[in-house]
Amino acid sequence: MKKSAALIARIKKLEGARWSQSLQAWHLPDTKEHRKRFLIAPHSHSLPSTEGSVQIEKFRQWLHSKRYSQSTIATYSEALKSFLVFYREKPVAAINNEDVIIFNNDYILQKKLSASY
């Protein structure tokens, strides 16, 4: 894609704009406002059923009982939510080790997320 100096200048002025060294591109947080501004379809980060929400809450309670910080609990819970959204059409009880490997290859590695993710 050809770079547009005018577009880059506009993006830099928006709140939350960041330069990604690994992607060699400017990017913005994925918000409803930005999706509307750039005519990008809304993205559903929600779980299709309450089952996933219940499991995330149980996980949060377990982390809390282990005395993890609120920041760590929030980070780990969001990572679990991403995983469950990735498998939104599959019951939580049906997710297996192979699914974890697929998630790692098709989500974490594709998005170049950190190893700790």
Give the pLDDT score at 96.
Answer: 96
pLDDT value at residue 102: 95
- Quick: pLDDT tens for 12-33: 998 888 898 887 888 888 777 8
Q: Is 103 exposed, middle or buried (0-12, 13-18, 19+ CB in 10 A)?
A: middle
Q: pTM of the entire structure?
A: 0.59
Cα separation, 29 vs 27, in Å, equals: 7
Tokens coding 6: 């005018």
pLDDT of residue 21: 86
Segments of the chain scoring below 50 in pLDDT: none
pLDDT at 104: 94
DSSP state letters, 34-92: HHHHTT------S-SSHHHHHHHHHHHHHHHHTT--HHHHHHHHHHHHHHHHHTTTS-G
Tokens 């591109």 belong to residue: 25
Q: Roughly what angle, to the nearest 10 degrees, separates helices 50-65 and 70-86?
A: 150
C-alpha distance from residue 23 to each of 27, 87, 107, 110, 113 (Å): 9, 26, 16, 12, 12
